[in-house]
Chain A
Amino acid sequence: MEKLSQMQVKFLSTLKSGALLALVVVLGVSLTSCGEDPSNKSAGEAGISGNFAASGASSQKSAVDAWVASFGSENPDAKISYDPKGSGGGRKDLGAGAVLFAGTDSPLKDQEISDAATGGCQGGSAFEVPVYVSPIAVVFNLSGINSINLDAKTTAKIFSGAITTWNDAAITALNPGVTLPATQITPVHRSDESGTTENFTDYLSKASQGEWRFPKSGSWPIDGGQSGKGSSGMSQIVNAAEGTIGYVDESQAGKLGKVSIGADGVFVAPSAAEASKAVAASPIREGLKDGRVVVDIKRDLTADQGYPLALISYDAACTYYKDVNNSKFVKAWLKYITSEQGQEVAHKETGSAPLPESLRTKISTSIDAIK
């Protein structure tokens, strides 16, 4: 009996010293790793641990996954969950205080800001900064043709059904040297509500010189026609039949032909670099308070100003969090994902367009103001 308890004590003390040793080793390793790599600033601030919930736009979901992985490798105790329930749902969650930040494809509405002030932001205010820019490609399926030129006016005519065959004079005039077949054009749109549709219709309504009669809308404004759910549904349809044309995140375009958009003889093919350029050339909305940064992409850019058909996804957060741990996390998180390094991670994983430097400086100021 006595022997047994002695053994127990011994065993326990070994366990304790073992645990202590492990702790020391872990601490030592993490400290040295910080010392070695000065670029790991967010890890240097250390102590970010806990469970952090976010929700919102599904467009930035794959980028968020990449960020969670790389942010998590520096802050292993931070558990971040992102529920891609949609932009509107995310903004609502932020207003109600259910999440720490929300991904959204469109800026906050006034109502939502005042909701957040009295609700989720506990006396602070809600603001949003751009975190993810993705070029949208107009894709088509014509065997043997990888690229054609279209201006917004002709694109609008195609998607509204005014032009019905590929060898229509309006298209051939923009594509000298390309032999277009007499195939019927099948325009394809998204059947679900999406930020991609919203940006595409915004482009059509602003750049088509009145040819597109509808305002921008996240839900396709014309009834009927071919449509599929999600980016995957869209690319599957366009891949399935000759003569189809649709719009999809550039990273999902695969082997499909891509339209170079533009006007007056200058056409730009979709790419991350050109989309970044277009964002840099677009005006930042003026007169916004509380560090809000909203970019209204100029859809009718002229030559060498980049590729204007891009989607900007924001993260909306609060300027004040009651819990210090939360504000520390949101600050570190937003800093990281909008940093050059964070943008590069997203670009590698999702083909997104890195935020231009001028914008990053402004964003950084807003994030610094979080208390």
Chain B
Amino acid sequence: MKTFSGLNSERIDALLASIRSVCEGLAEIRLMEVCGTHTVSIFRSGIRSLLPKNVRLISGPGCPVCVTPSGYLDAACNLAGRSGVTVCTYGDMVRVPGTDGSLADHRAQGGDVRVVYSVRDALRYAMDTPDKEVVFLAIGFETTAPATASAILEARRSDVKNFSVLEGHKLVVPAMRTLLSDPSTALDGFICPGHVSVVIGSAAYKPISREYGKPCVVAGFEPIQILACVERLAMQVREGRADVENVYQVAVKEEGNVVAMQRIEEVFQPAAATWRAMGSFPDSGLKLRQSYQEFDAARRFGLKTDGDYEPPACRCGDVIQGKVEPLECALFGKTCTTTHPIGPCMVSSEGTCAAWFKYGSVAR
């Protein structure tokens, strides 16, 4: 396997041997990777097929595109359809269908939709075109939220009046709590996201290990990191422990990025958020603080973002909660494919269904 080439192959073999010996004789161990980037890495590298039969990796709600409710997309499309409004978005969102088509559809009909690499590009565009209203689609977990906060602070400093954000940020730890409070999602531990944890810090998972008794191990994206993480989790299950560990210490500190967390805190406060096909959960998203509400696009344009509608028979909601695997969805691979996606998990390159569709031969 390509990713297992060279010097790493010995380390990989040693880790796999260790995982086999730790897991021997144990009941099924169900581990959830919360992050979409982990999902892709796990599928690409074929890790699932190398693990012992009693270790199950389950993909969670870790793709920001997949958890954004259709009401949010409808609001974004509504904005794209207005004259004098430019919608700036990360590329991942463009093809996701709302109730009435996607942003790509609205762009084809003349809507002004621009893909940006950074919220900084959206703010610069607003400064350069003062006669346009520029709305940035603020989605993503804690990795992207500090960038949005920074842009809003800069817009305030530079007195930019034609810039606003359609708030859709979500928080990872409340999502984990939600999953654990649903008895039908039986999990034994979490593979915690790498780059979200760079911002929030490994200490952020302590409530999950303490209150719910579930081991949490932070990992980077290389297959070797994921295997080291699985080894630690399996070890904790074997020993009956539930601790927070971190195999990605080179990038993730216990306290995270304190400056980034301060930026989030300054501009946003936790608020109830709707997760696509899962429902609304308290404090699982962010909203602008009172003093920054002038930058709230929903308020500026009188839009609601929390409505949710699922295409009939689409099981994305169950897929992102780890309740079913994509193969259990009647649409998967038949009417819903990466070329003609129906649900968000197939649209996003980090979606669970897209990973299964693309790398299905190594899934089990």
Q: Do A and B bind each other?
A: no
